[in-house]
Structure 1
Amino acid sequence: MGSKPTYTVSDQWIGEPRPVRVVVVGAGIGGIAAVKLFRETFQDRPTTLVIYEKNHDVGGTWLENRYPGCSVDNPGHTYTYSWEGNPSWSRAYVGAEEVFEYYKGRAKAYGVYQYVNFNHRVVEARWDEYVGQWKLKIEKEGSIIIEDECEVLINVCGMLNQWKWPSIDGLDTYKGHLVHSAIWDSNYSFKGKTIGVIGSGSSAIQMVPKLQKEVKSLISFNRSPSWITQEFGAKYIPEGRELVYSDEQREEWRNNPNEFLKYRKEIESIIVTSIANKFWHAQFKDGPVQEEWYRQTRQNMETALGGNPELISKIVPTFAVGCRRVTPGHGYLEALAKDNIVVRSDEIRRITPTGVQMTDGTNLALDAIICATGFDNSFRPSFALIGENGVDLRDEWREEPRSYLSVAAAGFPNYFMATGPNFPLANGSLVACLEQTLKYAFRAVEKIQTQGVKSVSPTREAVNDFQEHKDAIMEKMVWTSPCRSWYKNGKVDGKVWGPYPGSVPHFFELMGETRWEDFKIEYRTSNRFQYLGRGNTHREVSGGDLAWYVTEPGANLSA
């Protein structure tokens, strides 16, 4: 047997950073935030950041989605980065184009365009255990394959990224205008047409009231009922979507940041604390908050449908509120009650060249079919992600995505997700939670860079424990009630992959500290303490204050 190599002290000061390359996949809200956080965290360090984005510009879902009525569900002042609001929102609930312009403006301000490669789609990432790097293959401009490598890979693609057509026979035979809500064709006019909208999720709920006013007739195919609620924040913004901020109000916010911050905190507290925490308690099965929410929401929906018993039987759910994603449907129920809309809740048998054939044999002729059928919510990455032992995460998660706290996966070193399985996508302030997962990933980058670490990955035991806890608490929640929901990947029953098992403040506290005891850590050398170096610090080699720990009450030498 060979002897252990002689240990050599590294010629460095403690924690001297080594060069590390970070690749971020996606330049949506998360990718834009990643650049700002990266620049603040790693300034003056030998750290490289590269972003690969499949689209031609930043913005992600807000670049792609342009269907009529597309807008935020929450008040716009809760849909900005926590560190910088937008005093110039035109209204309380802003539309897709205005949201896109805000985030594009932030991308310019944060220098995102210096880091991003557009029209570059990551097609494969393969972990190289020997060197401790991800080897990447990227499709450039739709044809050329280029290669890259990085120590840390962060997936910020989001959960509403891979749109999907419905699995209905004959879809490819249809001769009319066929469009998905996520790839909208703004050149087509629906005026005076007979159209069908397949789906009853948030996209359909937003577009149907707009389309109803211009089409000759509309058939809404609602396979599953959805809870339509009041606007989030309606109690505090009673004007709802009708509230337009005056020029004077916006100018005051721009000139008085203290007042603007006070307003933002009030709205955020309402959404995150009052409503989100109430929302969390409302998700417990058979609890008093859930019972009251069910009663009030059902009453409001029945009223909006004009008391029509046929529509009520098709549209108003009987399952718990929140089992499917609740959506504030501004004018949606009222539109369904109009004379030029027919609601079909029975199954579609097939798509024909001229329209839709139902299971009862009825043939419905349609000039256009809109598929508001959502996205691939399996949480499997959109590219081949091959970790330890040649395992592809897409295969490992084929039946069930099992994450560590939504941010990492066992067997996939130095890989982090900004919105992984059981991220708080329906628990409250989504953007602020997204910031927390990125900060978590960058803490891992710092550890890898400064402590001689080659790789970090959560242990199987830690993942299993989190899954056990998550599944146990979900049994108490409405999300495991029998309803068809993308929280369960479109299933009626099954494990909940969507929301986080706790409130937003709960998630913040969890993300605020890294439990390194839950990670398998491999070092670049045989001695984990080699990063201690020659025994001195950066303060000493850079001429810093060597008595920083000496203080005196009331004294301030820097003043």
Structure 2
Amino acid sequence: MATHLARRGNESFMVLERADAVGGTWRDNTYPGIACDIPAHLYSFSFRPPADWSSIYPSGAEIRDYLELAAAEEGLLPHIRFGAELDGAVWDSGSACWHLTVSGAGGEHRIDAKVLVLAVGRLSEPKIPDTIDGLDTFPGPVVHTAGWRDDLPIAGSRIGVVGTGASAVQLVPELAAVADEVVVFSRTAPYVVPRDDRLLDADERAALLDPETAARRRDELLHNADQAFRQRLGLHPDIDEIRDRARGHLERQVPDPVLRAQLTPDYEIGCKRILLSDDFYPALLRDNVVFEPNALSTVVESKACAAGGATYDLDMIVMATGFEAARPPVSRHVSGRDGELLSDHWSHGMTSYASTVVAGFPNMFVLDGPNAALGHNSAIYMIETQLDYVIGALDHMAADGVRSLEVSADAEAGYTREIDELSAQTVWMAGCNSWYLDPASGRLTLLWPGTAASFRARNGTFEPGPFEFDPVTPESVNEGS
């Protein structure tokens, strides 16, 4: 978003970043083995020169380097206020402005902004289960994967890993190689398919530095990934093929029938996130690794007790338990028209129009928010689609002399019904407990129930029809709008 604004040169803007550097997910998550599960040339900006990626799937460090280079080369650093956390955002109808309260090393400050863009991401607030009794009394380190530290005592330690999601399947093989013992607590077995990663050779890397070649590769990857949405609709033979691929991977890599049964999911493939790994299953076969097919339920001193009754002596616990994705904590700090909190507006699950604007919250845009993610394709493509929408709205405001725009409640309700109807046809609503669903309403609120291409067709262009506008008048100019 900042790159687009900087290149346009039409608007003054500021980026508030509570951390001390850019990078988001890839800045905060530095655990061993971290990497993306979307191919590098698709998980990158279409509007920047292609990067020299070293492998098919980029490592977390490579992505962070890519983002840092983008911020520097696009001239964004002077626009970014680091160490600035948003404590409150209040819409003022009189001035048609957002009054932001920001805290940091210099104390608390107020910033007035005509437009507010929430770009806080879905994977920014670590989630620690509140169902583990005694976790706070554990004498050793308890660390979430998003709070990894390089000084953690891994070598020779007995380590418990809670969870078997995307972070865990990357981390467990790395820990197993150096720890004395690794116990993997699994509430629900995941579906895992081969990753098939490899280093790109020198000729490939050279060819992909050509923008046209990189663009063709990106388009090819995008199209191929979108084909997988047929699996999420439960269509045959597509869903059978991906299920067979996952089960065949499990059978080839886990010869022990007991362990294989424990690792066999009891829900339809795709209902939860499908994981990519070539070394997770082999790591579970190591003599120093224990697969515990139950959740961690209780901690008593250094003893970790599973729901099934087994007890393990541990030196360290790693929480690979995901993030507060369905209910973004930032929503508790944003107050729209008539003082309504965004968290109250979303009390039954996140809703929006075009997955980008929210009724009752004028001049506010949400990136990577309600139904703006995918379970089968690149988040970057989706965000870029939303950027086109936001830029279209800004252009409309400038061209028509608009102080504020707000999508109607009827438009939001209609879009929500559309989402619910499309969702009903997908495997995400097949009955498994997934972080894609709102925990209270059970609605699909994180994912777009369609292809990436259909999201762009539906939401890539700003249309003023569903909006109410407050025009600029001589009186409003005198009010300082």
Give the alignment's TM-score, normalised by structure 2.
0.94
SS in 1 for 2:470: strand
2:303 matched to 1:355? yes
Work out which of the residue numbers 197, 214, 229 in structure 2 matches 1:241. 197
Distance in 2 (alpha carbons) for counterparts of 1:128 and 1:427? 40
- Displacement, 1:207? 0.5
Q: Which amino acid aligns with 1:508?
A: R
- Displacement, 1:287? 3.3
Distance in 2 (alpha carbons) for counterparts of 1:404 and 1:328? 32
CA contact (8 A) 1:177 1:369 kept: yes
Q: Which amino acid aligns with 1:38?
A: L
- Displacement, 1:313? 2.3
Matches within 5 A, 1:98-497: 98-141=62-105, 144-167=107-130, 168-231=132-195, 240-246=196-202, 249-251=204-206, 253-254=208-209, 257=210, 261-262=212-213, 264-276=214-226, 278-285=227-234, 287-306=236-255, 308-382=256-330, 383-489=332-438, 494-497=442-445
- Displacement, 1:484? 1.7
Q: Which amino acid aligns with 1:215?
A: A
1:87-123 Cα distance to aligned partner (Å, 9 max, x none): 4222222211111011100110001101000000011
Work out which of the residue numbers 78, 81, 89 in structure 1 matches 2:42. 78
CA contact (8 A) 2:390 2:462 kept: no
Distance in 2 (alpha carbons) for counterparts of 1:323 and 1:249? 35
Q: Which amino acid aligns with 1:470?
A: I
SS in 1 for 2:444: coil
Matches within 5 A, 1:458-537: 458-489=407-438, 494-525=442-473
The answer for the alignment partner of 1:39 in structure 2 is 6
Query: Relative to 1, partners in 2 of residues 1:361 and 1:509: Cα closer, same or farther, differing over 3 Å?
Result: closer
Query: Relative to 1, partners in 2 of residues 1:287 and 1:203: Cα closer, same or farther, differing over 3 Å?
Result: same
Unaligned runs of 5+ in 1: 1-33, 232-239, 529-559
- Displacement, 1:281? 1.0
Distance in 1 (alpha carbons) for counterparts of 2:216 and 2:345? 43
Query: Relative to 1, partners in 2 of residues 1:86 and 1:379: Cα closer, same or farther, differing over 3 Å?
Result: farther
Structure 1 vs Structure 2 CA RMSD? 2.0
Distance in 2 (alpha carbons) for counterparts of 1:348 and 1:36? 44
SS in 1 for 2:465: helix
- Displacement, 1:245? 3.0
1:451-489 Cα distance to aligned partner (Å, 9 max, x none): 121211211111111111111111110000111211014
- Displacement, 1:359? 3.3
The answer for the alignment partner of 1:68 in structure 2 is 32
Percentage identity across paired residues of the two chains: 27
Which is higher, the Rg of structure 1 or of structure 2?
1
1:370-421 Cα distance to aligned partner (Å, 9 max, x none): 0011110124352511001111011221331111121011110010011111
Q: Which amino acid aligns with 1:112?
A: L
CA contact (8 A) 2:355 2:369 kept: yes
- Displacement, 1:431? 0.9
Unaligned runs of 5+ in 2: 477-481
Stretch deviating more after TM superposition (290-299 or 107-116): 290-299
CA contact (8 A) 2:326 2:446 kept: no
Query: Relative to 1, partners in 2 of residues 1:39 and 1:465: Cα closer, same or farther, differing over 3 Å?
Result: same
Q: Which amino acid aligns with 2:338?
A: N
CA contact (8 A) 1:380 1:398 kept: no
Stretch deviating more after TM superposition (351-360 or 403-412): 351-360
Distance in 2 (alpha carbons) for counterparts of 1:386 and 1:242? 47
Q: Which amino acid aligns with 2:456?
A: F
CA contact (8 A) 2:374 2:452 kept: no
CA contact (8 A) 1:455 1:522 kept: yes
The answer for the alignment partner of 2:479 in structure 1 is none
- Displacement, 1:284? 1.1
CA contact (8 A) 2:185 2:306 kept: no
SS in 1 for 2:41: helix
CA contact (8 A) 1:87 1:250 kept: no
